[in-house]
Amino acid sequence: MTATLTAACVQLNAGPEIEPNLTKAGELVRRARDAGADFITLPENATMMVTGRREILSRVKTEDEHPGIPYFSDLARETEAMLLVGSLGIKLTEDTVANRSYLFGPNGEIVATYDKIHMFDVDLGGGESYRESATFRPGDRAVVAPSPWGGIGLTICYDVRFAYLHRALAQAGADILTVPAAFTVPTGKAHWHVLLRARAIETGCFVIAPAQTGTHFADRKTYGHSLIVAPWGEILADAGEDVGFVTAELDLEQVQKARQAVPALTHDRTFAPPAAPVSLADTGS
């Protein structure tokens, strides 16, 4: 197994049409490869950013029909890099979609896929609300994929808020966690850096989080700031708000050093769940 690699986050501002997004993503992947990246990652919704159930269902493709799959397969083969397509919307039925990551090997073969488990169903205030579960079918399987550098744990966006998923991936052999995202601006400003650093520190993993940025279809705005984070929590690269890419050198020995210093992954204990609280009024206090 190779102990070092150069990782890249490609930061996109995807529009509603697939083909122009493929062209832009391909350009940036090639540039990242020319800059020395061995493992190149794209954000969530890499080929299409639209809002609203009707718009999504009218535009998504089945896996057999999606032009992004052969395109990215050829791109991985061309560049001879491992390529993570953060997610594609994949039509499952007439009214359900999977939010699915694809990991391609340097030979263009699909190494692994992962369907987003946790659905972003929130009201952020100011009229901004999301109901992913109205359109997307959640995944039910965590995935650690093989690579020349160790296990890669696959997650998507809102998954970052669920520490138990990332802990399970690390305990199953992940040394690198990927968190492709299209984070909203309010939640990004408040939580993005903190959550990604926390997932790295808790697991002793490198965290690679490519993101969407800027204004998209129907005035949806995403936060940007694609990040690469070390196992001790240091931010190695931050893409800011511009379309482009960032790279960082990863030394996998840092994973073992972090886990030896704080071996929390080996310290799980079972415990009884807490009882529901009793109000003071009920106790007569």
Rounded to 5 degrees, φ, ψ at 177 are: -115, 135
The active-site residue out of 24, 116, 132, 205 is: 116
In angstroms, how far is CA 155 from the centroid of its own chain? 5
Q: Respond yes or no: is residue 157 known to be catalytic.
A: yes
Residue 169, amino acid: L
144 vs 168: CA distance, rounded Å = 10
Q: Respond yes or no: is residue 44 known to be catalytic.
A: yes
The active-site residue out of 9, 132, 157, 205 is: 157
The active-site residue out of 44, 61, 91, 205 is: 44
> Could you tell me which of 172, 182, 136 has the C-alpha nearest to residue 152?
172
- Rounded-to-10 torsion of CA 130, 67, 215, 54: -40
Return the DSSP state at 45: T
Q: How many CA atoms lie within 13 A of 121 on its CB side?
A: 11
Catalytic residues: 44, 116, 157
